[in-house]
Structure 1
């Protein structure tokens, strides 16, 4: 470890970076280019999610509120988990929020969360101590309530640590600043050298851990202040105006609007599927097992509704059809639950940096009756795709006893899916 740290000499910091430098991104480039001799530093991220969000209001802490269909915390985490330079992510949570945390992070590759302390500073120190056995070179400390962090900001911070002990994302103050006495202006403050601090705040791990240990009992406002107290110069790296902290309900609405602006490529896909009815005792339709005197015939569980919806999602992102991804000639899918197919289609949307805005499934049959099961079907689809219930619609109709569905020979389903994608797909990590 000592040999690795020699790559990052201590010493005086370079002048403040008022704009992104031409060298930004060199560290992440080194990671992807094996011809570069210097090994890439090991980068871990510490997400601080132990706050209660008193100013936000509402029944949930802000980090667990829904942002475009996913918890704020999950969107923050996936941004870092997708970044190629990040080797590990650890989260500090309030002990009372464990159930909320587990629901928000289901399926993500994360270490056990760390219990927060009485202050933010104590929470961060707890998190750093938990990361210490991994001995990373660098650590980025980030607020859970800043879900719109960009890959470019992360790149610039990591690059800055090649020549600095500490660096923070920040943006220059652009508004005129007034100093007040009571409700009156006392002075106009020169804003030339004023910056608004953001997170991530990035450090060489051993230095910030030692600084936090030396600051036990204090209540400093951020981790940069802890580093400053230890005598470490802190570099300013250009942040992003979208990387704001969600503090109020209005901030949450602003974050959702910003996400929708990024996901301006709106696409609609359609799907259609038919399966034959044969003697049996149940049918799988839209992920729900329905007792019936017939069953649907197919290589998998023949869930006609989920098959149609899977094709609709694949069509919206121009990714072929269900047969290409799960060929009926492949024995792996014999009798398989169709929720696997639908979840796969949803994961492809997320891999493109997009989201499913809405899906609508119509089941066409005389029997079994769909009405009593519609609510359960919608809930199951929402669960599989990780959507809020208001983004899922399930309907049913008959053909007035006409055709093969009217004669009870089979069941048909048609589906549409509305998907939002970035026009210009971002680098991994952009929310």
Structure 2
């Protein structure tokens, strides 16, 4: 190639990547490759420029040296700023000090987008304190190694959870996210215009997944839920991902066993990921032989014994859970029936309690589940007691006229599960684009 006639292209054209960074090795010495990614850094030393290129699998060192590559290519590389998107055609050479023991001697470069603006924070810094600053340019923030590991682990966990459901005969479903009535009553709803009617964003797929047990017996859904709760904490979102399960001919004890299986699978998955990615700096999560179960009444007694101000029927607040020293994963079961939604089944042994549970990690609630009411008359009675309009739920109730099976289920908050498995302190770093009481963009 004539070094004085090289054109610096800016379009992809017929260029296609031949290798990701993790596929390059010293055994490929003298091979010609095409790599693409973002500029991490450029360092110049006289007639030599070093460029670090990052793709989704890692880093690649590019060595542009006078006499070894075209002058125009070397000069262009020397002027590039971090985050510019580029493609390089070049030759692989061994280099002990470079990532994966190789570097690329460039022959051609295409600059797909050249960056002039400096980000408001250093994206490759280990920590950036102001989360709002980060969220304003979230795609740049998500380049940070710590977040890359969180979301790659998240993807592996979702894959493992889906595999579990498929292997155990569950059908993946998708239920409406625009609904006519509140699933559970209450005011924590986002109203929307639906043609000429008022509708709401779904708080959960609860009623639909119950109905679908009549058709398919075992169903699951991984999808958004919407809660208009004005909470400004590091564990609440207005839009979250829920892993929902519903199964026919079982009760809440069977669903707790399902959750125990899912937690063990998730722990193994995330621990395997951390072992393969030693730079992740996450702590290995302990695998429980069995997730402990405590009744609501047991924990109220424990709280009272340590002087916590709580009475039977009160919610179990995080501050009180901390006082009795509960940690790791555990279930709280047999909650009072009073505050529970209308579809939660009453205990046969005690009308004051319900066949329900919460899965906890320390003081963080990850999941709620229960045995469901399967008889229409009982559902209607529960609705009346809660002041709900029975007519508004006729679309749901009519299914119970045609042989609704006994069934149970739960919903697991994916973001909170990721927090517990990766040690993430702020739930906004467990979702790509957080939605909360203060944030509707980006």
TM-score (ref. length: structure 1):
0.29
TM-score (ref. length: structure 2):
0.28
Tell me which of the two structures has the higher relative contact order, counting C-alpha pairs closer than 8 angstroms and 6 or more residues apart.
1
The structure whose Rg is larger is 2
